[in-house]
Amino acid sequence: MFKKILIANRGEIAVRIVRECRDMGIWTVVLYEASDRDSLHVRLADECVELHSDLGYMDGAQIIEIARRTGAEAIHPGYGFLAEQPEFVAACEEAGIAFVGPSSDVMRAVRMKIELLGRVKAAGFATTEHSSVSFRPHERELYQAEAAALGFPLLVKACSGGRGRATRLVRQPEALEKAVQQSGSEARVIFGDDSLYLERAILPANYVDVQILGDRHGNVIHLGERDGSIQRNNQKLVCESPAPGLTQALRARLHDTAVQIARLFNCNNAVTIEFLLDQNGTFYFTEIKARITVEHPVTEMVTRRDLVREQIEIAAGKRLSMSQEDVRLRGAAIQCRINAEDPWNHYLPSPGVLQHFRLPGGPRVRVDTYGHSGCPVPVRYDPILAKVVVWGEDRPAALQRMERSLQDFVITGVHTNLPLFQLIMQDPDFLAGAYTTEFLRRSMLSSVANLSEVVARDLAVAAAVAYAVRMQGRQSVTPPQFLRGWHRASRQLPG
């Protein structure tokens, strides 16, 4: 087993990995920039090294040099940044440093999205429809022709990314050019590669993924599925397991298909096989995320298995600690992704300093965060601040626990999307499990209309207090000093 691991990431995922390493008796080295100096991962790690490169956490050469200098035997990339960069993985392998994630061969295979979809389709599995070739933003005639062949609505996606960053939904032809330019610019900044491709959008649909673990000895298992259909900018805000609405037969086919696709690409370590499920119950493969995901705690809650520990042990050459028969899916788990942004002001990012930061607690409640009172929330990075994850014996119990946990969570100093989740937990469609990827594109006013009498009363009181405080600040007030008469005495002429 490794004695020292460098964590090439920041935020809540860095904290998660630091804590796991400490539980395993592994010394940790973390990286930070000036804006992250007071972040929790810096405070918890055994060693910390400041990054001075303009590339920050994307400077693979500097990170490998730091690993060498500090004696780290392995690098855990978390998610984002260098987590899915085959060139960085290959550089680690060449330097004799273990990479906690899939091998560079797997990374290259799943990164080429059009070839990936083609191989899966050739193996007999249904995939989403996609453009026949990739293109760059300046190749207007090429992408216009591909779009006309596919039809609308469609997605513009980065070849080096996933459904998250640099992805744009295009419903009408006149919006295509702008979407391509925006996706290309974002992909160039984030991935260093502005090549794009098109995918036929399935609307409405459910976004369902299957968690896979594979070791370097040919063993591959699944740990159930997650539904991440409630998204904004293709980032999953709410995720739950098991996915509501699936029959047992459909669920079994989904799991089996995911394992077969993982074997097709010799996937190792933690990967996620992602599908779109249409309203007729047909699922279509869309991509592979060759890394740990933001939503992995949901799977950990329903399986009682530690995915980050498994990642580290697999990277150290160990076999999986479990077989498929050992995996038991129990109860229901839900995760809400708390972002430092204002959902009532076009989701404007809200950097600042956390003033009051009270976490929810109680049985089967977990919060992954880098925050604490006095901690700065930088403007440069993804606004994710915390993840609230709950477990219940069944879905209604998990929903009740999540609603209570969101009420317990107190954050001041920055705006967050906590109020949005409180509305979602009251929404009839969500409560019934009858939601799709179109959920946040509809009006949330129906949720307000169905609030309970107690919640409506509390909102009315809060609104009245806020109005009184605001109006009080505008009332003219006579300073006490003027009531003492000193100004009148100072103007008297000497007698």
Catalytic residues: 291
Three-state SS for 90? helix
129: tokens are 């429809």
Encoded amino acid at 455, one letter: V
CA distances from 43 to 70, 184, 368, 386 (A): 18, 37, 15, 17
Tokens of 177: 């050019």
CB count within 10 Å of CB 475 equals 6
* Alpha-carbon gap, residue 341 to 350, rounded angstroms: 5
Dihedral sign, Cα of residue 31, residue 36, residue 39, residue 43:
positive
The dihedrals phi and psi of 352, each to the nearest 5 degrees, come to 160, -155
Give ∠ CA 171-174-180 in degrees, rounded to 5.
80
Query: Looking up tokens 């216009």, which residue turns up?
Result: 144
Dihedral sign computed on CA atoms, order 227, 197, 291, 109:
positive
DSSP state of 46: S
Rg of the Cα atoms in the chain: 25
Tally DSSP H helices, then E strands, for the chain: 17, 22
What is the total residue count of the chain? 495
* Alpha helices in 265-353, H assignment, sequence order: 296-303, 307-315
List of residues 6+ apart from 380 with CB closer than 8 A: 35
Q: Which residues contact 464 (CB under 8 A, 6 or more apart)?
A: none
DSSP-based three-state secondary structure for 472: helix
Q: Which of 289, 1, 340, 282 is nearest to 125 (CA)?
A: 282
Distance of alpha carbon 459 from alpha carbon 465, whole angstroms: 10
Question: What is the DSSP code string of 351-389?
Answer: -EE--EEE---STTEEEEES--TT-EE-SSS--EEEEEE
| Other Cβ atoms closer than 10 A to 221 | 19
Judged on CB neighbours under 10 Å (0-12, 13-18, 19+), 276 is buried
H/E run at residue 155 = strand 154-158
Tokens linked to 132: 């026949």
Structure tokens at 140: 């207007």
